[in-house]
């Protein structure tokens, strides 16, 4: 499932390439036909992300809300060429020369697969496939969705103290708490495991046993890692001194992560085999030595 940095990259892309443009909205698959009619022909003002939720604003006062889930992804054909953002798919390619219809909207290529939403402007197009949620909502409904989410470290309005109060009062493990979107929005399995490793925190430690200093450092580190992800388009959590080539950037796998997907391999810091276990319906990775209880 795409983590928070990907949604913020999507929001920035929509704002840059479609913000202020009148758009044609359709549903080739048909499942979003009613929603598409509500925003077809409107101006897309811009987009924002909150955790793993994407919100595209329209001049009607309504919003397109999208949660990609495990399988959702956007395909774009615009000034950045044809490419994909979301669940892993084929790499993008060069920009195509596209025809336009009588109203000036680009004519995208025939839809491939189950395209839930197609957005076309005068300069590009975007296709959405496989989201877990896709709907047109009012301003009040959007705010209600956001009210149920925890603070997003990438947003300027984030309140880390709100998340800390939940964590400090909970007997639940910090690893499980970090996966709850109502505690911290945008954190997925990779950022969860990697941030706890970098902090040296046992993933099974109860939230209430995490000190204030540890929480403040963990929040700051998560915010920094997410900002790096937005900038680079990839998750890199290893520090230069723990990579085979400290000067290489962007970092190539397998040097990007400390513990995720490295079960049984030696810890990059102490050499202890990386452990794994099921926690909060996902696979947890950690170093039993660097993150000792």
pLDDT score recorded for residue 264: 97
Which backbone phi and psi does 6 adopt, to 5 degrees?
-65, -40
- pLDDT-derived band at 82, boundaries 50, 70, 90: low
Cβ neighbors of 277 (< 8 A, separation 6 or more) are 283, 284
- pLDDT-derived band at 61, boundaries 50, 70, 90: very high
* The CATH number of domain 4-147 is 3.90.10.10: no
Alpha carbons 229 and 267: distance in angstroms, whole number = 23
Indicate the pTM of the whole model: 0.92
| pLDDT greater at residue 32 or residue 88 | 32
Tokens standing for residue 144: 């209600």
Alpha carbons 214 and 218: distance in angstroms, whole number = 6
Cite the residue boundaries of each domain of the chain with CATH code 1.10.8.50.
160-286
The answer to whether residues 283 and 276 touch, using CB atoms and an 8 Å cutoff, is yes
Q: Name the helix (H) or strand (E) containing 24.
A: strand 24-26
| pLDDT greater at residue 293 or residue 9 | 9
Highest CATH level, class, for 160-286: mainly alpha
Comparing CA positions, the residue from 75, 81, 83 lying closest to residue 94 is: 81
The catalytically annotated residue of 3, 62, 82, 194 is: 3
The answer to whether residues 62 and 50 touch, using CB atoms and an 8 Å cutoff, is no
**Annotation says 282 is catalytic:** yes
How large is the angle between the packed helices 160-168 and 212-232, nearest 10 degrees? Answer: 130
The catalytically annotated residue of 9, 24, 52, 155 is: 52
The catalytically annotated residue of 22, 31, 89, 282 is: 282
Asked whether residue 160 carries a pLDDT value surpassing 60, the answer given is yes
**What is each CA distance from 209 to 136, 169, 196, 205, in whole angstroms?**
41, 9, 14, 7
**Annotation says 2 is catalytic:** yes
**What is each CA distance from 133 to 25, 63, 190, 209, 280, in whole angstroms?**
17, 13, 22, 35, 21
**Annotation says 52 is catalytic:** yes
Mean pLDDT of 283-292: 97
Q: Among 43-47, 94-98, 211-215, 260-264, whose mean pLDDT is lowest?
A: 94-98
């Amino acid at each position: 499932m795409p983590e928070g940095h990907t949604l913020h990259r999507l929001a920035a892309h929509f704002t840059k390439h479609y913000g202020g443009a009148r758009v044609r909205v359709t549903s080739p698959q048909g499942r979003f036909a009613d929603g598409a009619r509500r925003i077809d022909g409107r101006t897309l003002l811009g987009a924002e992300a909150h955790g793993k939720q994407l919100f595209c604003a329209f001049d009607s006062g309504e919003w397109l809300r999208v949660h990609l889930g495990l399988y959702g992804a956007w395909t774009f054909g615009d000034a950045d060429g044809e490419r994909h953002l979301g669940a892993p798919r084929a790499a993008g390619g060069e920009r195509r020369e596209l025809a336009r219809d009588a109203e000036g909207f680009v004519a995208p290529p025939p839809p491939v697969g189950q395209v839930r939403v197609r957005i076309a402007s005068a300069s590009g197009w975007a296709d959405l496939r496989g989201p877990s949620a896709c709907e047109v909502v009012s301003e009040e409904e959007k705010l209600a969705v956001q009210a149920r989410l925890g603070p997003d470290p990438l947003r300027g309005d984030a309140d880390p103290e709100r998340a800390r109060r939940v964590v400090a009062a909970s007997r639940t493990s910090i690893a499980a708490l970090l996966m709850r979107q109502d505690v911290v929005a945008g954190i997925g399995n990779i950022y969860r495991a990697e941030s706890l490793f970098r902090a040296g925190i046992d993933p099974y430690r109860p939230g209430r046993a995490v000190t204030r200093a540890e929480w403040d450092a963990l929040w700051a580190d998560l915010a920094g890692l997410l900002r790096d992800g937005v900038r680079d388009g990839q998750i890199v959590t290893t520090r230069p001194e723990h990579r085979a080539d400290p000067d290489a950037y962007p970092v190539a796998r397998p040097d990007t992560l400390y513990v995720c997907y490295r079960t049984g391999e030696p810890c990059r810091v102490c050499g202890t085999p990386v452990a794994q276990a099921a926690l909060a319906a996902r696979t947890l990775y950690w170093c039993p030595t660097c993150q000792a209880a």
